[in-house]
Structure 1
């Protein structure tokens, strides 16, 4: 494991520990108001332990902030620090063991300032773990709704009082049931508020319920119905095709071919053109991403099976992706020749000039059109896609830039080109 990976693992583990400590403390505070938990030794020990964790977290955050601030590379993008004084003050206010120092439970509300840390850390995880952002959002939604109803249930018991003949657990469950039914509907009438305070609290709860229920449902729907980028792109393309068909007369077979291509693009190409993303990136990141996209495809080409990563990085930036649908011609005999092609996926057939004879079948890892890179000529064969084919195109002028640095690759390609030319003449 690399040092960066271990550091990231430690950092994430520590953040999770702090979140769990905050959630536990926030969940116990309203119970302390009801059951005087601060008089119990285990609660005081827990309060001291959480204070120690919060103090260590403050020290770690200060050290992280100083380290990031000193690095120009990170200070402009790493926002989960004390870049604003209010976050530092919030952590300071949450450190003290209020249950040990004060008999009044109201002082423990200062612990709630640490909730800012939970929100910021959760957002950090969403930004740094994009693959799991929907799951993180769902988890935060459930935790937030639970704590919200938990606090309202405890407030209801505090206002309404304990029902005689029921245990503390039964009183809590009954209060939780009433809060949830009131928030999500208008209540069932089996638990009735008495007195002005209880009625006002119930009214407030019902008003809150309208917004909370709408927010909860909308968030849930958004999480579960959110399409991934590939599916979103596919649906947009289908809508555009539907509009095109509505306003223009397009042959049925052409309509089906276009629809089939969009489906193929969605299923096989992730529904987007990688060049669109490339254009938004600076030069360095663009090269790194191109290398990751194309390194496996390049290494699968027998011609390049023994090359090092330096060659792959050089050539990757010049390979342009293209897709052929069934029956498409890549080129025909006599066409101008100024580039060569590598088959990433699919099958193509090389045909004679009159297309009466199949010269060869080109499969994954094969290349074609290399004769054009060594001499000014036209295409000597016709190449046609049998099914869907993914290819990379390399222009002659770009090819020359790379092979000047790698003459041994140029010689191998020249030999292969000569043998093919003699074969097809």
Structure 2
């Protein structure tokens, strides 16, 4: 179930590929251990071998089915070379054979060797790693977990190799394996305490490449983990650096504290509510249709925080987000005036606004995530109060025409907004 040309995997594909990786990982630990220590097949091994083989057989069937539908039903030419595909599928078929079950059932001697054939499944690890490298949106935790598991596999194989070079007559296989594992870790990490050292020529020959490999593996793992974490937060780090530059700017020009508060408040808004200070730059090179679609999902992230939309369906949120228009206002600028016809409602993305009656009384102060102007829009009346920007504000506007279309399609939204309007009117009467 590998499609390297995709840019993102569905949840089902991630789960299935994760299941395959776990199966390969368990095989990569168990098969070398059984071969090294010549252990007898246990009941749990028969069960695990059967389950893992079933998973691989299912995956092989799925791959054949996908290729058939692409070629014969949809007329698509497969992206992968035919010879390469058949080579890989042959390896997958060989890896699907339950060698432990067959060896045990037919009482074959030297069954541990047949068990090693299951390591053919490691081809899937390479293919999964290639898949992860080509997908920018694979979860960071999944990449780190996969890298950690691959590191465990390498250490385990090296420990098993050391156990074969330095066999023991002890009956305690676990203790001997732990000593071998300890040697592998200290050698790979270049610590090398010297309490366990090779005493034979073959042991020294085995140790030397492991030492060289240790430097590379250690550096590879550290570099990849660091890259995964730094790449994920690079935009926020850039924003924090900009905040430092802004602070220096404010200090140099002796900017008043009131204005500083507004500026830092806006930058904090960008840092918490957006990926970068200018998300539109990221999608600027895309076709307009894709830009509009992505902008819709960016707006959906905003309106999900607004209480009136909390229980709305995904379809409703998408329709509202698609219709929103962003507009900015400066401190003291009137957004709504008394007597105007209510042709739109407003959503506060950032900033604070004051609701002011005709006598100049501030009856309410609205903040980020709240809406206003919806009462006159729903009742088709004129505005009964001024609304003025208290500081720099980002507002999202929904006009009457779009609003009408949306509430016809999603009547539950109208009901939710009516409750908010009624509650707000009741609160104002109590305050009066």
Task: Give the TM-score normalised by the residue count of structure 2.
Answer: 0.66
Tell me which of 103, 107, 120 is aligned to 1:113. Answer: 120
What is residue 144 of structure 2 aligned with on the other side?
Answer: 138
What is residue 361 of structure 1 aligned with on the other side?
Answer: 364
Distance 2:216 2:208 in 1: 13
What is residue 92 of structure 1 aligned with on the other side?
Answer: 93
Distance 1:170 1:308 in 2: 58
Root-mean-square deviation over aligned CA pairs: 5.2
Query: Which stretches in structure 1 are left out of the alignment for 5+ residues?
Result: 1-7, 417-425
Report which structure shows greater RCO (CA 8 Å, sep ≥6).
2
What is residue 40 of structure 1 aligned with on the other side?
Answer: 41
Q: Secondary structure at the match of 1:300?
A: helix
Asked whether the equivalents of residues 351 and 358 of structure 1 are also in contact (C-alpha less than 8 Å), the reply is yes
What is residue 24 of structure 1 aligned with on the other side?
Answer: 26
Distance 1:330 1:27 in 2: 69
Go from structure 1 to structure 2 and tell me whether the alpha carbon gap of 1:405 and 1:126 turns closer, same or farther (over 3 Å shift). Answer: same
Go from structure 1 to structure 2 and tell me whether the alpha carbon gap of 1:297 and 1:238 turns closer, same or farther (over 3 Å shift). Answer: closer
1:148-173 CA-to-partner distances (Å, cap 9, x unmatched) read 111100001111x2234462111111
Tell me which of 233, 236, 240 is aligned to 1:231. Answer: 236
1:363-415 CA-to-partner distances (Å, cap 9, x unmatched) read 322129x89xx9xxxx9997433367552135xxxx48647969999xx9xxx
What is residue 4 of structure 1 aligned with on the other side?
Answer: none
- Compute the displacement of 1:219 (Å): 3.2
Tell me which of 350, 353, 360 is aligned to 1:348. Answer: 353
What is residue 156 of structure 1 aligned with on the other side?
Answer: 162
Go from structure 1 to structure 2 and tell me whether the alpha carbon gap of 1:227 and 1:313 turns closer, same or farther (over 3 Å shift). Answer: closer
- The aligned runs of 1:299-378 (5 Å cut-off) are 300=308, 316-322=321-327, 327=331, 329-330=333-334, 342-344=346-348, 347-350=352-355, 357-358=360-361, 360-361=363-364, 363=366, 364-367=370-373
User: Is residue 207 from structure 1 mapped to residue 208 from structure 2 by the alignment?
Assistant: no
- Compute the displacement of 1:282 (Å): 1.8
Go from structure 1 to structure 2 and tell me whether the alpha carbon gap of 1:312 and 1:267 turns closer, same or farther (over 3 Å shift). Answer: closer
- Compute the displacement of 1:177 (Å): 0.5
Distance 1:244 1:87 in 2: 60
Task: Give the TM-score normalised by the residue count of structure 1.
Answer: 0.67
Q: Secondary structure at the match of 2:326?
A: strand
- Compute the displacement of 1:217 (Å): 2.3
Asked whether the equivalents of residues 356 and 387 of structure 2 are also in contact (C-alpha less than 8 Å), the reply is yes
User: Is residue 198 from structure 1 mapped to residue 224 from structure 2 by the alignment?
Assistant: no
Tell me which of 396, 399, 405 is aligned to 1:392. Answer: 396
Go from structure 1 to structure 2 and tell me whether the alpha carbon gap of 1:75 and 1:238 turns closer, same or farther (over 3 Å shift). Answer: farther
Distance 1:386 1:94 in 2: 68
- Compute the displacement of 1:176 (Å): 0.5
Distance 1:314 1:85 in 2: 46
Asked whether the equivalents of residues 283 and 291 of structure 2 are also in contact (C-alpha less than 8 Å), the reply is no
Asked whether the equivalents of residues 91 and 113 of structure 1 are also in contact (C-alpha less than 8 Å), the reply is yes
User: Is residue 289 from structure 1 mapped to residue 297 from structure 2 by the alignment?
Assistant: yes
Distance 2:204 2:38 in 1: 26
Asked whether the equivalents of residues 157 and 175 of structure 1 are also in contact (C-alpha less than 8 Å), the reply is yes
Q: How many residues align?
A: 381
Q: Secondary structure at the match of 2:388?
A: strand
Asked whether the equivalents of residues 243 and 267 of structure 2 are also in contact (C-alpha less than 8 Å), the reply is yes
Go from structure 1 to structure 2 and tell me whether the alpha carbon gap of 1:263 and 1:408 turns closer, same or farther (over 3 Å shift). Answer: closer
- Compute the displacement of 1:25 (Å): 1.6
Asked whether the equivalents of residues 350 and 361 of structure 1 are also in contact (C-alpha less than 8 Å), the reply is yes
Tell me which of 215, 219, 223 is aligned to 1:218. Answer: 223
Distance 1:98 1:312 in 2: 53
1:333-353 CA-to-partner distances (Å, cap 9, x unmatched) read 8xxx9x956033664125589
Distance 2:313 2:57 in 1: 49
Go from structure 1 to structure 2 and tell me whether the alpha carbon gap of 1:287 and 1:9 turns closer, same or farther (over 3 Å shift). Answer: closer
- Compute the displacement of 1:256 (Å): 5.0
- Compute the displacement of 1:180 (Å): 0.4
